[in-house]
Amino acid sequence: MRPEYRIDESGIADAACWLPSPNWDERPVGTDIELLVIHSISLPPGCFGGSAVGELFTNCLDPEAHPYYRDIAGLRVSAHFFVRRDGAVIQFVSCAKRAWHAGSSLWRGRERCNDFSVGIELEGCDELPFEEAQYGAVAGLTRALRARYPIADVVGHSDIAPGRKTDPGPFFDWQRYRELSGLS
């Protein structure tokens, strides 16, 4: 049975594990949260499980633990949420704050999507399907976020940073996600 999420007044999901990231700042004053961005990540690429994503988002990634980490260990990035393959959800940044997940981005003529979006990272890659538990968790988060904020659209990272990003990739089943989230 998957948990039902509720986002409290401070932007924290009550059923998520809280692991605070230092990689956030304040949203611009008066900015509504209007966009939900779906990402995917695996560290090292194509490998699942372990603590590397959390270590990256909390600036604790050991550059000597894997050759790939040498290039990314200095990045200062985060997301609001990370959904593991088994559907477990970790929250790194309050939704009330600006997580550093989208980078250079554009949505409906508006730049700096981090200003007005929430980012959800799914543990995955472009080469493999996502797990049913992940669809349940991200759908539950989506329903909770839409209940709390005036979210107008849900997009992939590739939609707001085309040519630069490919995630969540060709194996993300948008139709299944939209049905489970009540977006269809």
The residues annotated with a catalytic role in the active site are 121
Phi then psi for residue 181, to 5 deg, are -85, -10
Distance of CA 115 to the CA centre of its chain: 14
- For residue 182, CA distances in Å to 58, 136, 175 come to 32, 12, 11
Q: Compute the 3-state secondary structure of the chain and give helix, strand, coil in percent, each to the nearest 5.
A: 25, 20, 55
Whole-angstrom Cα Rg for the chain: 15
| Residue 60 token pair | 């604790």
* CB 113 within 8 Å of CB 104: no
Q: How many residues are there in the chain?
A: 184
